[in-house]
C-alpha cells in the first residue's frame, strides 16, 4: 500500500512540474538568451570565426622551420652500385637508409609576416561580424516582441469594446422586454455586438500569428509551449530626451561592430597587398640534413661487409645549404595578384566610407523619428484621455435615451481608435529609443538589460 502511495506521489509531483514548465511565460530577456544560445545562423558564424582562428594559427606555424625524418628499405635484383666500394654489381642486395632534414626561410619578402598580420585582422573582423549577426538577431526578436505586445494590446482593446457592446445589449434587451425600448434598437445593438465580436476574433488571430512568428524566430523545438509574459506597459518610463545626430554618430563610429568589422577587413587587405608584393623579392632559404645508410649483398660474394650498426655509424653524412631564388618571369601571375590585392584594398576602403554614410543617414532618421514620435505620443495620449471622457459622457446620454445607437457606436469606435493609437505610438517610441541606444553602445545587451 505504501509503495503505491509513493508511486502516486511521484507521478503527481512530476506531473505538476511538467504543468509548471508548460505554463512558463517568456520575458524579452528569456527570448534573447535562448536565441543567442540556439540560433543556427549565429552558430554558423561562430564556426566562421573558428576557421579564422585556425587560419591565423596556420600562418604563424608557416614561419617555423620544417623538420622531416625519413627512412627507406630496398631489395635489389639487378644492376646496382655497391656503396661500399662503388662498384657495379648484379648480385641481390638489401639497402636501408635514414635521413633527417630541416629548412628555414631566411627571407621571402616578408610574405609570411604580412600574412600573419592580415589573418590577425581577419580574426578581429570575424569577431565583430559575429556581434553583427547576434545584434541583428536580437533586433529582429525585439521588433517581433513589440509586435506581439501591440497585437495583444489590440486584442485587449477589442475585448473591451465587445464587453461594452454586450453590456449595452443586455441593458437594451431588458428594456425591450419591459416595453421601454423599441425592438429595432435591440437589433442595432446586436449588429454592433456582432461587428465587435468579429473585430475581436480578428485581433485574436492576429495576436496568435504574432506569437507564432516570434516562436519561429526563436527556432523552438516542436511541442514546446510558448507564450510571452506581458509587461505593464503603463509603468515603462518614457523619457523626454532629445537626441542629437552628430553626438550619437561620434559614439557609434567608435563602438559599432558594423564599422569595426569593415575597418579590420581594410587593415587585413592592406597587409594582403603588402604580402602580394613580397613575391617580387628574391627568396633566401637555408637548410641542412643528416644521412646514414646500410648496404648488404645477399648472394654470390665473398665480400667482407661491416655490421649494421657499424655501417650506420660509418656512413653518416651531414650537409648545409643556402638557396637563393630570384623570380624573373612567372607568366605575369605575381603582377596580376598584386593588382587584384590592390583592387580589393581600395574596394574595402570605399565600402567603409559607404557604410559610414549609410550609418549617419540611419542615425539622422532615427533621431528625427524619435523626436517626432515624442510629440505624436503626447498628442495620442492626450487624445485618448479626451476620448475616454467624451465616451463616458456619450454612454450616459445613450443610457438616458438622449443619443441614438449610431452616435454611441461612433463614440465607441473613436475611443477604440484613440486607445490603439496611444498604444502604437508608445511602443513605436520605445523601439526607436532602443535603436538609438544601440547606435551609442554597440550591443543590444547593453540596451535591454540595463
CA 427 – CA 430 distance, rounded (Å): 5
Q: Angle at Cα 141 formed by Cα 208 and Cα 435, nearest 5°? A: 125
Supply the pLDDT for residue 301.
Answer: 58
The pLDDT, as a whole number, for residue 336 is: 95
CATH 2.20.200 fits 66-107+283-325, yes or no: yes
Q: What is the pLDDT of residue 95?
A: 87
User: The pTM is what?
Assistant: 0.82
Angle at 118 between CA 134 and CA 328, to 5 degrees: 150
Give helix 245-255 / helix 405-441 axis angle, nearest 10°: 50
Q: Determine how many CB atoms are found less than 10 A away from the CB of residue 99.
A: 15
Q: Where are the extended beta strands (E) located within 298-351?
A: 317-325
CATH topology of domain 27-38+110-154+202-282+332-448: Outer membrane efflux proteins (OEP) (1.20.1600)
Tell me the average confidence (pLDDT) per consecutive run of 10 residues in the chain, 450 residues long.
45 44 78 92 95 96 94 85 72 88 93 96 96 92 92 92 90 86 86 93 96 93 86 69 89 93 97 94 95 82 77 90 91 92 97 96 94 91 93 88 85 91 90 87 65
CB 138 within 8 A of CB 32: yes
DSSP state of 178: T
The DSSP line for 382-439 is HHHHHHHHHHHHHHHHHHHTSS-HHHHHHHHHHHHHHHHHHHHHHHHHHHHHHHHHHH
Residue 84, Cβ neighbours under 10 Å: how many?
17
Tally Cβ neighbours within 10 Å of residue 422. Answer: 22
- Domain regions of the chain by residue span: 27-38+110-154+202-282+332-448, 66-107+283-325
Distance CA 213, CA 202 (A): 16
Amino acid at each position: 500500500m505504501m509503495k503505491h502511495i509513493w508511486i502516486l506521489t511521484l507521478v503527481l509531483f512530476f506531473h505538476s512540474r511538467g504543468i509548471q514548465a508548460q505554463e512558463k511565460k517568456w520575458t524579452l530577456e528569456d527570448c534573447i538568451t535562448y536565441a543567442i544560445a540556439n540560433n543556427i545562423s549565429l552558430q554558423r558564424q561562430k564556426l566562421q570565426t573558428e576557421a579564422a582562428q585556425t587560419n591565423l594559427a596556420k600562418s604563424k606555424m608557416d614561419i617555423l622551420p620544417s623538420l622531416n625524418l625519413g627512412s627507406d628499405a630496398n631489395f635489389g635484383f639487378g644492376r646496382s652500385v655497391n656503396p661500399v666500394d662503388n662498384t657495379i654489381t648484379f648480385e641481390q642486395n638489401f639497402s636501408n637508409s635514414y635521413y633527417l632534414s630541416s629548412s628555414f626561410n631566411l627571407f621571402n619578402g616578408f610574405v609570411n609576416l604580412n600574412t600573419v598580420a592580415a589573418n590577425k585582422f581577419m580574426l578581429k573582423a570575424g569577431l565583430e561580424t559575429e556581434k553583427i549577426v547576434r545584434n541583428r538577431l536580437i533586433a529582429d526578436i525585439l521588433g517581433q516582441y513589440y509586435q506581439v505586445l501591440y497585437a495583444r494590446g489590440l486584442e485587449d482593446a477589442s475585448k473591451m469594446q465587445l464587453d461594452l457592446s454586450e453590456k449595452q445589449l443586455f441593458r437594451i434587451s431588458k428594456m425591450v422586454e419591459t416595453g421601454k425600448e423599441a425592438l429595432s434598437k435591440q437589433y442595432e445593438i446586436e449588429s454592433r455586438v456582432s461587428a465587435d465580436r468579429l473585430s475581436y476574433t480578428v485581433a485574436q488571430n492576429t495576436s496568435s500569428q504574432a506569437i507564432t512568428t516570434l516562436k519561429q524566430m526563436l527556432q523552438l523545438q516542436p511541442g514546446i509551449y510558448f507564450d510571452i509574459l506581458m509587461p505593464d506597459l503603463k509603468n515603462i518610463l518614457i523619457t523626454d530626451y532629445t537626441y542629437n545626430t552628430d553626438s550619437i554618430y561620434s559614439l557609434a563610429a567608435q563602438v559599432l561592430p558594423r564599422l569595426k568589422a569593415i575597418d579590420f577587413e581594410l587593415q587585413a587587405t592592406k597587409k594582403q597587398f603588402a604580402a602580394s608584393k613580397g613575391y617580387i623579392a628574391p627568396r633566401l632559404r637555408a637548410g641542412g640534413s643528416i644521412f646514414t645508410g646500410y648496404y648488404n649483398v645477399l648472394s654470390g660474394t665473398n665480400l667482407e661487409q661491416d655490421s649494421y650498426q657499424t655501417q650506420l655509424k660509418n656512413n653518416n653524412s651531414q650537409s648545409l645549404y643556402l638557396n637563393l631564388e630570384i623570380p624573373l618571369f612567372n607568366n605575369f601571375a605575381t603582377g596580376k595578384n598584386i593588382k587584384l590585392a590592390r583592387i580589393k584594398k581600395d574596394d574595402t576602403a570605399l565600402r567603409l566610407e559607404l557604410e559610414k554614410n549609410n550609418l549617419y543617414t540611419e542615425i539622422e532618421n532615427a533621431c528625427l523619428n524619435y523626436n517626432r514620435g515624442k510629440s505624436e505620443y503626447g498628442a495620442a495620449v492626450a487624445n485618448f484621455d479626451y476620448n475616454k471622457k467624451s465616451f463616458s459622457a456619450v454612454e450616459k446620454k445613450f443610457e438616458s435615451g438622449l443619443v441614438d445607437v449610431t452616435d454611441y457606436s461612433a463614440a465607441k469606435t473613436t475611443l477604440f481608435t484613440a486607445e490603439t493609437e496611444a498604444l502604437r505610438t508608445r511602443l513605436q517610441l520605445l523601439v526607436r529609443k532602443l535603436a538609438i541606444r544601440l547606435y551609442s553602445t554597440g550591443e543590444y545587451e547593453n540596451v535591454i538589460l540595463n
